[in-house]
């Protein structure tokens, strides 16, 4: 997968500490960014589900929902 370079400024003392502790900044930053993106995506999904739930409230019979879930589980 192609990659791009992202640069950031950090205080000199922080960079010195990172070097002293032999911390792989690229690896740590990549992992933290991936986790953060996943967290933001989950929040967006939660918001969208909440809006959908509010929009559909009272429009779908709970028995129908239960039947559809049962059918889906039985297909697995």
pLDDT at res. 23:
98
Could you give the CA distance from residue 22 to residue 18 in angstroms, rounded to a whole number? Answer: 6
Q: pLDDT for 15-74, tens place per residue? A: 999 999 999 999 999 999 999 999 999 999 999 999 988 888 777 787 888 888 889 889
5 confidence band (pLDDT: 50, 70, 90)? very high
pLDDT at res. 53:
84
The secondary structure of 15-69 as a DSSP string is HHHHHHTT--HHHHHHHHHHHHHHHHHHHHHHHHHHHHHHHHTTTS-HHHHHHHH
- Closest among 26, 24, 20 to 6, alpha carbons compared: 26
């Amino acid at each position: 997968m192609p990659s791009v370079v992202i640069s950031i400024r950090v205080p000199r003392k922080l960079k010195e500490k990172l070097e002293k502790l032999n911390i792989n900044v690229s690896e740590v930053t990549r992992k933290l960014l991936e986790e953060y993106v996943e967290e933001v995506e989950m929040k967006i999904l939660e918001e969208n589900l909440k809006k959908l739930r509010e929009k559909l409230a009272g429009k779908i019979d709970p028995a129908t929902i239960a039947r559809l879930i049962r059918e889906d589980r039985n297909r697995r």
